[in-house]
């Protein structure tokens, strides 16, 4: 899959990052990189995509603009989720002490490469 190297680079470029995933809008993990084991991360990320979808629905109803990313702390970890293209998201899992701004910056830098992987 074309995302393997991208996910590995994301994890290695952010201090405190422990895993990265490409997810579909229903929360299904398409591909992941998590050296410590992915099952718990895959379950957490499905939940986080649902939270993001709920937030997007609420902001659309309120007509206050769109949500491009979500940062959240959950059970001893921090997460940043960023939409790549409609229906697909990159997610980065980090330790609670990780710098969220740095993680978001790296995630946004990875977007052009991730989007290009979807082009035929």
The CATH number of the domain holding residue 72 is 3.30.450.30
Residue 113 has what pLDDT? Answer: 92
Entry pTM: 0.85
**Per-residue pLDDT at 35:** 82
pLDDT tens for 10-58 read 999 999 999 999 988 888 888 889 887 767 777 777 788 788 888 888 9
Q: What is the mean pLDDT of residues 3-13?
A: 92
Question: Residue 108 pLDDT > 70, yes or no?
Answer: yes
The larger pLDDT score, comparing residue 120 to residue 79, is at 79
Q: Is the pLDDT of residue 106 over 90?
A: yes
- The percentage of the chain sitting over the pLDDT mark of 90, rounded to a whole number, equals 44
Domains identified in the chain, total number:
1
Residue 8, pLDDT above cutoff 90:
yes
- β-bridge mates for residue 79, sequence order: 72, 93
Range of the domain at 75: 4-118
Q: Does 1 have pLDDT greater than 60?
A: no
């Amino acid at each position: 899959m074309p995302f393997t190297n991208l996910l590995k680079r994301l994890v290695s470029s952010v201090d405190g990052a422990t895993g990265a995933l490409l997810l579909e809008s229903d929360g299904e993990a398409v591909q992941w990189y998590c050296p410590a084991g992915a099952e718990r991360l895959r379950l957490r990320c499905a939940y986080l995509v649902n939270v993001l979808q709920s937030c997007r629905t609420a902001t659309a109803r309120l007509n206050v603009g769109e949500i491009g990313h979500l940062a959240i702390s959950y059970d001893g970890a921090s997460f940043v989720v960023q939409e790549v293209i409609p229906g697909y998201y990159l997610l980065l899992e980090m330790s609670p002490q990780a710098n969220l701004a740095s993680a978001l910056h790296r995630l946004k830098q990875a977007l052009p490469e991730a989007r290009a992987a979807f082009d035929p």
